[in-house]
Structure 1
Amino acid sequence: MSPSAPLTVENIRSTLATRALGQQIHLYRELASTNSEAMSLAQAGAAHGTVVVTESQTAGRGRHARVWFSPPAVNLYCSIIVREAGPGLSLSEWLSWVPLTAALAIAETVQAVAGLSLALKWPNDLLLNESKVGGILCESSLSAANDPIVVIGIGLNVNVPRESFPEELRPIATSLCEATHRPIDRNRLLAQLLLELEQSLDELRSHGPTRLRQAYQTRCGTLGRHVRAILGAGQELLGTVEAIGSDGALQVRPVPASPDSSSPSPLIEVRAADVIHLR
């Protein structure tokens, strides 16, 4: 397989068709974390749509400060600063729907550029043939004007071969090139992602999450699954996922306390949890 072409600002912009996202691009050879750099830039006044992208991360992280595997020159590690919340949405609705909207935008990007169909694992994982191919980490803050700042961090395994994954990740992780058997142009991939994300966020602002919710549910591999939701403080929930709520919550029907129970357990809405798909 031929090597992955390097990321360049010129090549990203050569196919970029956005109004705001990516109009300011900060490209690095190496960073500790794109999210940390983007949040620093945002708090210093960086514009809506500013993108931080790097060829390698030395301290990339996922949710709960988990280490994110970030080898150089093969994958996509980027963070996007989003400042403009939707006027018809509450702050909590906006913050709940931004990561789900980002996941949907990534799935549609991969379909367009690589011809692959990703499944979305609520709330922030992207799966290819049941293996993890990417993830999203959204972090928020308030600006001096009390406007919400959201940094959307994206890690996507693009051109890393299976043998380059750490041994412990090989059974559970994959990359786009493993499925396509060819390298993917990361410059075009990022430009398309910024367009899909901008269009989806514009829709969320203007029309709310109604259509996005339907589209997300269509791609959501967590729907209909038996899951274990780890809620924190030692609490777990076992049940079957039935829907995504209007505010983005996962609606879970718990396993009945008694196998002889004739009435279904009431739905529980989960808004923050680690969700494990059970066989």
Structure 2
Amino acid sequence: VIQHLVISTGQQLPFLQYVVALSVVQAVQLLCARVPQAKSFDLKVKWPNDLYVGELKVGGVLCNSSYRDGQFLVAMGVGLNVSNREPTTCINAALGCTDPTDDPVTSEALLAEILNRLDANLATFTREGFLPMKASYLANWLHSGQRVMLEEGDQT
């Protein structure tokens, strides 16, 4: 998928990863809400780029950027464990599905929903920046209400 965005400064680039992660979370929420009798679960963003169900990682988001000929080029990647219950868990297992041959959430449906959400969120980001999505991102952020420690080398 190729998307051309107009990004005026490099200061906006880190937010693209947040937009992608939020789009994935929103897509999973929308699809899972349509599954009758599904167990409720929260897919959360563990900063900066991991996706967790409870304490188990089910995916991640990576964005890589370069600057060439006066413009930023960004490659966005998403890995999400939809149906493989190993090595941790997957979206369908988190929903409470016990029969892997009858998983209600398919990779194809999830990809379509992620791209729909990403398209809408990137349009908002291009027009208005990250601020309109900030509250939704923080509501889906694993670290809300937590105390975190950042380390760099031997400094904390």
TM-score above 0.5: yes
Partner SS, residue 86 of structure 1: coil
TM-score by length of 2: 0.83
Q: Tell me if 1:234 matches 2:149.
A: no
Greater RCO, CA 8 A, separation 6+: 2
Choose the corresponding residue for 2:28, options 84, 94, 110: 110
Q: Tell me if 1:123 matches 2:53.
A: no
CA deviation map 1:231-273 (0-9, x unaligned): 3x333x3xxxxxxxxxxxxxxxxxxxxxxxxxxxxxxxxxxxx
1:212 CA drift (Å): 0.8
Q: Which stretches in structure 2 are left out of the alignment for 5+ residues?
A: 34-40
Judge conservation of contact 1:110–1:117 (CA < 8 Å) in 2.
no
**Could you list the runs of 4 or more consecutive aligned residues of structure 1 that deviate by over 3 angstroms after TM superposition?**
none
Residue 196 of structure 1: aligned partner? 117
Matching residue's letter, 1:150: V
RMSD: 1.7
1:121 CA drift (Å): 1.2
Q: Which stretches in structure 1 are left out of the alignment for 5+ residues?
A: 1-21, 23-47, 50-82, 166-172, 238-279
Judge conservation of contact 2:21–2:49 (CA < 8 Å) in 1.
yes
Q: Tell me if 1:175 matches 2:103.
A: no
Residue 18 of structure 2: aligned partner? 100
Choose the corresponding residue for 1:134, options 43, 59, 69: 59
Structure of larger gyration radius:
1
1:130 CA drift (Å): 2.3
1:114 CA drift (Å): 2.3
Judge conservation of contact 1:133–1:174 (CA < 8 Å) in 2.
yes
Judge conservation of contact 2:7–2:72 (CA < 8 Å) in 1.
no
Mapping for residues 235-254 of structure 1, pairs under 5 Å: 235=155, 237=156
Matching residue's letter, 2:53: L
CA distance in 2, matches of 1:230, 1:134: 24
Q: More helix by proportion, 1 or 2?
A: 2
Q: Tell me if 1:158 matches 2:82.
A: yes
